[in-house]
Amino acid sequence: MPLGTWFKAGTSAAALVLGMAGAATAAPAPAGESSAAQAAAVTLRYDDSRAGGWEAAIAAGVASWNANVSNVHLVEAAPGTVAEIVIVATTGWPQATLGPVRPGRQVRVELGSQAVDQGYDKTRIAAHEMGHSLGLPDTKPGPCSQLMSGSSAGTACTNATPNAAERSRVQSAYASGIAALVPADGRILIDAP
């Protein structure tokens, strides 16, 4: 069978899996993107109902990811629905399950107050931990310009925007809805210095 036929068959199979899962939905793509790009976007729901005190930081972190990637879209889960990303506030160090999380599966993000008590920025923490859920490991040590450098960038760093390499990696992880077929790593990454 020609390679193009295999590719079409694989793409069709991926679309079928996504459609049957019921959890992946097309999200609006930024202006100028084709309908094919819109169809490929994966929507992931997050539940921050147990993250009291972090709501503004979570909203800002989610907005940063949604503004910088188009293959995946983060939305707040409606009450009573199952979310792929469960976010809770804790007293320890921030930590998260390494993804990429798949639609219909679940990862956990813990936003720890210990980091805030030491002077780290809440929005950067929230965006960084969401980056783990989207499949990005830590890049420590690293500069402030790398969102995934986490605590190694120091307490003065407030950058909550993924850089080009981080955006590209997430785009690739969710290209054509492929995240539905790629298992999450499952490791818990603790972001203590």
Catalytic residues: 129
Name the nearest CA neighbour of 102 among 51, 178, 165: 178
* Cα angle value 62/165/25 (rounded, 5°): 45
Alpha carbons 127 and 64: distance in angstroms, whole number = 7
Q: What is the DSSP letter of 190?
A: E
- DSSP per position, 55-97: HHHHHHHHHHHHHH-SSEEEEEPPTTS--SEEEEEESS--EEE
Instruction: Answer whether 71's CB lies under 8 Å from 40's CB.
Output: yes
Host H or E run for residue 188: strand 188-190
